[in-house]
Structure 1
Amino acid sequence: MPSARRSSSSAGERIAAIRSARRMTQGDLARAANISLSMIRKLEQGSRNPGDNVLDAIAAALGVDPSRLLHGTGRTDSRVHGTIPLLRQVITTCDFPDEGPVRPLPELQVAVREAVRCRLESQYVRLSYALPDLIAELTRGLRTASGLAPLLVTSYRAADAVAYKYGYLDLSARLIDLMRQTTVLVEDPLLAASVAYVRTEVFFATHTYEAGLRALEVEIDRLRTCKDTSLQYMGVLGSLHMRAAVVAARAGQVEDALSHRDEAWRLGGMVPESIYYGTAFGPDSVRIHEVSLAVSLGDSHLRPALDLGDTWAPPSSMPAERRSGFFIELARARLWAGMRDAAFDALRSARRIAPQHTREHPWVREDGETLLRLHRASSDELCGFAEWLGLS
């Protein structure tokens, strides 16, 4: 395990690197973070180890998640897990919210947009710190302003991302139920469809893929009855087909999987790559799901995924979670094809893009263990990656 001095130096090096990339001097960072210049210097020199409050202040000043500064240490896990009891308390008492202030609607909209951004960028530390208070405030406000319901649904979805990624499946299921209940307060079929998309996590977690496919197809049929030709409509409908393709593949229903894939491609060609009701959709998202589909189908379907990985990478404009997911799926395809070094390269790419998403992904841990087992003389870099995952 790395020493405290080494961890401190590593964090200091990252602070210095990101500060330089932002074209900030040490003095600029000190003023933005409200920290003394001498503290910044000591951190970057590695002679001081940042505490949580200092780390949060520096991360906020640099505009990054604290995990970017902790890359390679074990602290990120504890920081996220430590917020789960607070989130549980808020969820448990949602029927009887506490008293307190509620900000004006425009301020709440800004806060929820920031939560969505953190979710899409896999910034789970910042997200988990902000959500308990935000959800409590929205729950209070909902008693007198039903117009807050869509914001509350969106915040529940952000909380579900944390719960699901960090293995709190019971909390995830409860949050999805709350999303569904709150959606009833809003006459918005697209919001309901977006919740159906998220609900698929329950079927993934329990491996009940056939039921998950039926649920998605019911939602697709319901949405088709809407007389809507907007980009938002096509984006939401396309995302349902995109997910249905993967679920059908997991269920072993190849024809259904390919049919939903084709419909996703058709709709993807009609809209620009963007975020539709909280989900990324468009040509690039469908292309990424081709890899997920290939991995789910396996065997003869892997070749297109391998070829895509050799010739294409998701653009940086896409959400970090979606981009890292591409490389996680590609790593599995390459591993199954016997391409060990290329598989590890893909895992490293995923880590660079979204370290928290990568570290908590069960496939990354499985594939990391497999690579360690297959490489009799493991490289220092592979061993370091395994240590980062907590495998050694």
Structure 2
Amino acid sequence: MPSELALEVGRRIAYRRRMARMTQVQLATAANIGLGTLCKIERGARGAGDGVLDAIAGALGVDPSALLPDHGRSDNRVHQAMPALSAVIATYDMPDDGPVRPLQELSATTGKAVQWRLGAQYVHITRHLPELLAELSRAFHAAPAETRSEVASLLVAAYRTADAVAYKYRAHDLSARLIDLMRWAAEFAEDPLLNAHTAYVRTEVHFAARAHGAGLRALQAAIDAAPPPSRPQAIAARGALHMRAAVIAGRAGDVAAATEHLDEALAHADRVPEAIYCGTAFGPDSARIHEVSVAVSLGGEHLQRALDVASSWSPPRDMGQERRSGFYIELARAELWSAKPDAAFKSLQRARRIAPQHAREHLWVRDDVATIRRIKRAERDELDAFCDWCHARG
């Protein structure tokens, strides 16, 4: 008799295949597995091991966690990969011997990893980043002078991708180490814009330590040191720093600074199209999402601004899943604090649909759904299931 897990995984694969408008033959070919194997998996007649599941997920363009009903299984894979990440960064200056692909191939692979980060595909990241980081370290130390800065730029992007997982899964010591290595590699990249984006990421250390005042000072220093906003990449770098500064100023309760930085971010965003600049999303849509974040950070009378933004606007579907999911998590908090628990729960559910791993690991999701469950005692079944899914207490 087929197991419940195999049946559910099979149903999810078949659903995702149909959503991608692929036939079973096309999916089997793209995943490099037998057609008979895929048919059995979709029927639930056999299970899918990690390797097969990764191949199918890759062919469908989704993270393996999207195909698993048991989200603990994907969490385990992420946590099990942390030691491998720690080991590879411990040898950043003396990497083990091994192959090194041409620079063009390394660039393409790193670009794919950046897309995994933007899409909150943490299982993919933890499965592939240790090997990529090791290879990039070898490439950096072996690179001739004329290509060393380019390899260093790839290292910055790869370290940032690995940090996304470490930070989201609250491995804060590992996250801080990865950020230090980003800053180290950025020096060799010889690109002031990378220094600005590294400063943007470094704020995670201040968020984790709740050192909001120090984080604001560090961001102001980065803004002062950033290149003049005379071209799109420089405008985006400076605008992203203002976005981050607005949020952390809000967390510090500094209304004047939050307002000033948010106004600057919105003004910079009006000058460039929404895009990914040196690995950071920036533009009118990102700035509007941060407008909601700042309102939530300030709380109280400022919450209405978040609700006003959401009443007439929502993030476009082509925006990265992590940032879109974050918008609905922030909105849920504004709705909950505005005595709208039903709307808040709907926003949390939407965040989960967009980026399940991101939503599941977000502390606000756990805190807020637990609060909603206490408020809505008469409607517990769906809330109980959501709380169990994200390990919420209360």
Who is 1:208 aligned against? 211
User: Larger relative contact order (C-alpha < 8 A, sep ≥ 6)?
Assistant: 1
Deviates more, 1:142-151 or 1:343-352: 142-151
1:173 aligned residue (176, 188, 200): 176
Who is 1:26 aligned against? 24
Deviation of the 1:83 alpha carbon: 0.9
Unaligned runs of 5+ in 2: none
| Distance in 2, Cα, partners of 1:212 & 1:120 | 23
Aligned CA-pair RMSD = 1.4
Instruction: Describe the superposition over 1:116-152 as per-residue Cα deviations: whole angstroms up to 9, x where unpaired.
Output: 1000010110111110010001111111222311100
| SS in structure 2 at match of 1:237 | helix
Instruction: Describe the superposition over 1:298-329 as per-residue Cα deviations: whole angstroms up to 9, x where unpaired.
Output: 00000111122222210011111110000000
- Amino acid of the structure 2 residue aligned with 1:165: K
| SS in structure 2 at match of 1:275 | strand
Who is 1:389 aligned against? 390
Deviates more, 1:43-52 or 1:15-24: 43-52
Who is 1:130 aligned against? 128
Contact 2:7–2:43 (CA under 8 A) maintained in structure 1:
yes
| Distance in 2, Cα, partners of 1:54 & 1:164 | 28
Deviates more, 1:365-374 or 1:67-76: 67-76
| Distance in 2, Cα, partners of 1:321 & 1:358 | 9
1:152 aligned residue (150, 155, 160): 155
Deviates more, 1:318-327 or 1:303-312: 303-312
Contact 1:71–1:355 (CA under 8 A) maintained in structure 2:
no
Q: Check 1:63–1:360 CA distance in 2 against 1; reply closer, same or farther (3 A cut).
A: same
- Amino acid of the structure 2 residue aligned with 1:190: L
Instruction: Describe the superposition over 1:60-90 as per-residue Cα deviations: whole angstroms up to 9, x where unpaired.
Output: 2212110111145321100111111111100
2:220 aligned residue (207, 217, 222): 217
- Listed as ranges, the matches of 1:189-268 within 5 Å are 189-223=192-226, 226-227=227-228, 229-268=230-269
- Amino acid of the structure 2 residue aligned with 1:117: Q
Contact 1:83–1:129 (CA under 8 A) maintained in structure 2:
yes
| SS in structure 1 at match of 2:290 | helix
| Distance in 2, Cα, partners of 1:315 & 1:125 | 24
Deviates more, 1:251-260 or 1:35-44: 35-44
Instruction: Describe the superposition over 1:134-193 as per-residue Cα deviations: whole angstroms up to 9, x where unpaired.
Output: 000111111122231110011000010010001100000001111111111122110001
Count of residue pairs brought into register by the alignment:
387
Who is 1:369 aligned against? 370
Contact 2:228–2:234 (CA under 8 A) maintained in structure 1:
no
Unaligned runs of 5+ in 1: none
- Listed as ranges, the matches of 1:75-114 within 5 Å are 75-114=73-112
Deviation of the 1:96 alpha carbon: 1.3
Who is 2:324 aligned against? 323
Instruction: Describe the superposition over 1:184-233 as per-residue Cα deviations: whole angstroms up to 9, x where unpaired.
Output: 1122110001000000000000000000000000110111xx35511000
| Distance in 2, Cα, partners of 1:82 & 1:378 | 36
Contact 1:7–1:73 (CA under 8 A) maintained in structure 2:
no
| Distance in 2, Cα, partners of 1:47 & 1:308 | 48
| SS in structure 1 at match of 2:281 | strand
TM-score, normalising length from structure 2? 0.95
